[in-house]
Structures are given as C-alpha cells and as structure tokens.
Amino acid sequence: MTALRSAADILHDFRVSTPSSGPGRYYAICPECSHKRKKANQKLKCLGVTIDARGCKLGCNHCGWTDGAFYQTAKGTSRAAPVMSEREKADKERAEEQRRRDLAASRSKSQWLWASRKPLKHSIAEIYLRECRGYRGPLPPTLGFLPARDNHPPAMIGAFGMANETEPGVLVIGSDDVTGVHVTRLKPDGSDKAEISGESAKLTIGLDNDRLTMAFLAAGEPSQAAFAVVSTISAAPAP
C-alpha cells in the first residue's frame, strides 16, 4: 500500500516553510527564486501556498513558478495516496525520453557492429571457441568475428534478436532484426579473452530486455544452445 503523505511532507519535498501545515492560505520564501534576488529581498515571502483537503498548491508572485501535489483516495482502500507533482512528472518524462534516446543509439550501434562482422570460421574467434572454450559443435550463424580496429582488439560477437530458423537447429539473424549484441574481446591469437586494464573483456550493447541478458548468463559462454535460448526468449511476448 502506498504510504500516506501529509501536507508537511509535501512542503518539505519542495523546500517550503510555512507557520503551519493545516488548511489555509500562507506566504513563504520561494525555493526557486528568493536566493537569487538581492540580499535585501531574499527574505520576502513572495510564494503563495494554499493547503486544503486535496493537497498543496504553490505559486510565486515574483518568478511565476507554480507547482504542488494533491491526494486522492487509492482504489480499494480508505487511505489517500500521493500523486506526483508536476515537477516529478516532468522529471520522470525527461528521464524516460533520455532512456529511449540512449537505447536507440545503443541499438543502432549494435546493428552496425553486427553488420561489420566477418565469418567465424577460420578466424581467431573460432580458435577461442575450439581451443580455449572446448566447444566442438557446429559454428552458429548467430556468432561472428570482429577484426581489430583502431584501439579495439579483435572480438567474437553474438547477436540477440528475432532469429529465423533456416533449417532445423540453424538460427540466422539479419542486421535489421538485431536488438543487441554481446562482444567478447580476444587476445590477438585467440588463445583467451583480452586482458584490458580496469575493464571486463565482455560487454553487452543495445539490450533493453533483462530476460535476454539473464538467459545469456544462465547459458554461460556463447554457444549454439545459448543463442538459441536467447533468440527464443527474444521472440516470446512479455509476461
């Protein structure tokens, strides 16, 4: 059950001080502009505060800032639940929009990396799988090889996304269907993972679905079975 906030709690959240938190009309120092004014005017109570049965409403007569929060009865209970203030709603919307932009950029990068891959066969990534990891199965099309580039070491790359089963047990993922990639950076000879100071040799790019990451980690090192599990979960609807 959501905890009940009082008028005093709301005023405290906005850094507003009034003689009382009971219903009524008050005036207070504005937390948005008073500290920016000339010293002689910083103590002027220019913020109007209205407290009633619904909650608190704030409005500054100097800078025009308005905000507040109110209560409404939570469905199925006899207690009031706080509703987000306009400031909290705006902050949440900005954070969500930034998350979407970051995800889109990360996903675009993952698709670019997947499109840049080379075949796994006869690469040092195959040496890593065969010799270091002891994998003896067929090489899955959901894995590839990234040659060294600029300051980036060579790497094995695995794709997450909506896979197509071209034949029994064979999964293929096109670049446009990739929602994320897992990169394992390697030593130049493929004998083991790269040793990178202060960083993990592995990184995941583009994913926004925790189920994919959990499936990959549960499966262990990249393998045909691991990416089959991941691709199947990727295609499944959210619970």
pLDDT in tens, 52-108: 888 889 999 888 888 888 765 445 444 444 455 667 778 888 888 988 888 888 889
- Find the length of the chain: 239
Residue with tokens 């639940």: 81
- Confidence at residue 221, expressed as pLDDT on a 0 to 100 scale: 44
- What tokens were used for 135? 């994998």
Please say if the pLDDT value at position 218 is more than 90: no
- Confidence at residue 71, expressed as pLDDT on a 0 to 100 scale: 66
With cut-offs at 50, 70 and 90, classify the pLDDT of residue 231: very low
Residue with tokens 């790019």: 205
With cut-offs at 50, 70 and 90, classify the pLDDT of residue 229: very low
With cut-offs at 50, 70 and 90, classify the pLDDT of residue 208: low
Instruction: Using alpha carbons, select from 238, 112, 105, 233 the residue that is nearest to residue 162.
Output: 233
Q: What is the pLDDT of residues 189-200, one digit of tens each?
A: 999 999 888 888
- Residue 129 backbone dihedrals phi, psi, to 5 degrees: -65, -45
β-bridge mates for residue 72, sequence order: 81
- Confidence at residue 216, expressed as pLDDT on a 0 to 100 scale: 42
Structure-model confidence comparison of residues 216 and 35, the more confident one: 35
DSSP string, 127-151: HIIIIIS---SPPPTTEEEE--BTT
From the CB of residue 33, how many other CB atoms can be counted at a distance below 10 Å? 17
Measured CA to CA, the distance from residue 63 to residue 31 in angstroms comes to: 11
What average pLDDT does range 22-48 have in this prediction?
Answer: 92
- Confidence at residue 1, expressed as pLDDT on a 0 to 100 scale: 41
Residue with tokens 């009309």: 25
Question: 3-class SS at 29?
Answer: coil
Structure-model confidence comparison of residues 210 and 125, the more confident one: 125
- The residues spanned by each domain of the chain are 7-83, 107-235
Q: What is the pLDDT of residues 175-187, one digit of tens each?
A: 778 888 889 999 9
Helix (H) or strand (E) holding 201: none
Non-local CB neighbours of 6 within 8 Å, separated by 6+ positions:
21
Q: What is the pLDDT of residues 115-166, one digit of tens each?
A: 999 999 999 999 999 998 888 888 888 899 999 998 899 999 988 877 777 7
Measured CA to CA, the distance from residue 186 to residue 141 in angstroms comes to: 19
Non-local CB neighbours of 201 within 8 Å, separated by 6+ positions:
184, 185, 186, 193, 194, 195
- Confidence at residue 84, expressed as pLDDT on a 0 to 100 scale: 58
Cα radius of gyration (the chain): 28
Structure-model confidence comparison of residues 75 and 51, the more confident one: 51
- Confidence at residue 237, expressed as pLDDT on a 0 to 100 scale: 36
